[in-house]
Amino acid sequence: MKLFKRLFLALILWRLFGPEIRPSFAPNQTHPMEIPGRTVFVNGREVFIREAGPVDGLPIVLVHGWGDPSNVIYARIMPALAEQFRVIAVDNRDAGKSDAVRSRYEIADAADDLAGVLDALDLADCAVFGYSMGGMIVQELAHRRPDLVGKIGLGGTAAHVSIGGTAGAILASIAFYLARGVERFTRSEVSFVRTKYLERVGAISANEAQHFWLQSIGRDPESYWAAGFAASGFDSRSWVSSITLPALVIINTADQLVPAAAQYDLGKRLAGAVVVELVGARHEAPLTHHAEMVASISAWLTGN
């Protein structure tokens, strides 16, 4: 016990006064998505967007998931889609280069932000694709502002992710608070482990690791876990079937974060949805199965 206390005290002192440990990276690091961006104002806050592709191309808006901004989630997908379509990727509140709110919010609030972006860009009746928590935001947008949406694409997401009733919700909240505390204290280590995991599963190359590490270490734990609480409280099961827009549902059959059963359930609730299965894909599918996702999205947009 004394040894543990001494080690813990040493860790605290190191964290307070020692230098931040920066991992070493392979030489010749590259940026996986060199697409510049700009901001638009929504309710007095700046929301960061990236645009690429022909200006007269068919527009599609990309909405990222929990915590990871557009230049992480869509690093492979956006450049490929931009060869044919006008692509607009949005950084959600508290993520990427968008203004931070740093308080609890609901998915509906993020959907209102997205609606404000589409209004600012004078985009209506456009295709909107959301991945993971972004898919929840897209569902809410289609429910709240159907005038803005012509098609919805949903990848690696659900109408609701069950966490086991009241007891499960309590345990999940405790786990979230503990995880937030750990990340506040050990952000460098958490970011390093996460980046190494992406390398190990083939989601990123060693020459891209620095970019993904910087994106991870740059995120604010308070904002990150606020997004997690928003996603965990989302439930569209009572109304999602009323959405009659043409829909694409991409399912990761081996998803470790959003159960495949919940993704299949969403596909069944959307009448006439085009359902695409990515066999063996986990939640990092936009990086590991990007070619299949791009092909599915392109076919869905063009009706082929």
Instruction: Show pLDDT as tens, one digit a residue, over the chain (304 residues).
Output: 777 777 778 777 776 777 777 889 999 999 999 999 999 999 999 999 999 999 999 999 999 999 789 999 999 999 999 999 999 999 999 898 999 888 889 999 999 999 999 999 999 889 999 999 999 999 999 999 999 999 999 999 999 997 766 666 677 677 766 777 777 777 788 888 999 999 999 999 999 999 999 999 888 888 888 888 899 999 999 999 999 999 999 999 999 999 999 999 999 999 999 999 999 999 999 999 999 999 999 999 998 6
Question: What Cα–Cα distance (Å) separates residue 259 from each residue in 163, 232, 264?
Answer: 11, 13, 9
Position 202 in a domain: no
Position 212 in a domain: no
Position 19 in a domain: no
Residue 90, domain extent: 34-162+235-302
User: Across 64-125, where does the E strand assignment appear?
Assistant: 86-90
Task: Name the 3-class secondary structure at 45.
Answer: strand
Cα–Cα distance between 59 and 75 in angstroms, integer?
A: 18
Cα–Cα distance between 141 and 115 in angstroms, integer?
A: 7
The pLDDT score that the predictor gives to residue 178 is 74
The pLDDT score that the predictor gives to residue 166 is 61
The pLDDT score that the predictor gives to residue 127 is 97
The pLDDT score that the predictor gives to residue 107 is 97
Query: Please, what is the end-to-end C-alpha distance for the chain in angstroms?
Result: 65
The pLDDT score that the predictor gives to residue 189 is 82
pTM of the predicted model, to two decimals?
Answer: 0.92
* Alpha helical stretches, state H, 86-132: 107-120
Question: What Cα–Cα distance (Å) separates residue 284 from each residue in 71, 194, 229?
Answer: 14, 12, 20
The pLDDT score that the predictor gives to residue 169 is 62
β-sheet with 247-252: strand ranges across: 37-42, 45-52, 86-90, 59-63, 126-131, 149-155, 247-252, 274-278
Position 214 in a domain: no
Domain holding 248: CATH number? 3.40.50.1820
Position 223 in a domain: no
Cα–Cα distance between 238 and 146 in angstroms, integer?
A: 17
Position 84 in a domain: yes
Position 189 in a domain: no
Q: Provide the domain count of the chain.
A: 1
Residue 265 C-beta-side C-alpha neighbours within 13 Å: 16
Position 297 in a domain: yes
Query: In this structure, what token pair is assigned to residue 19?
Result: 């230098």
The pair phi, psi for residue 122, each rounded to 5°, is 55, 40
The pLDDT score that the predictor gives to residue 300 is 95
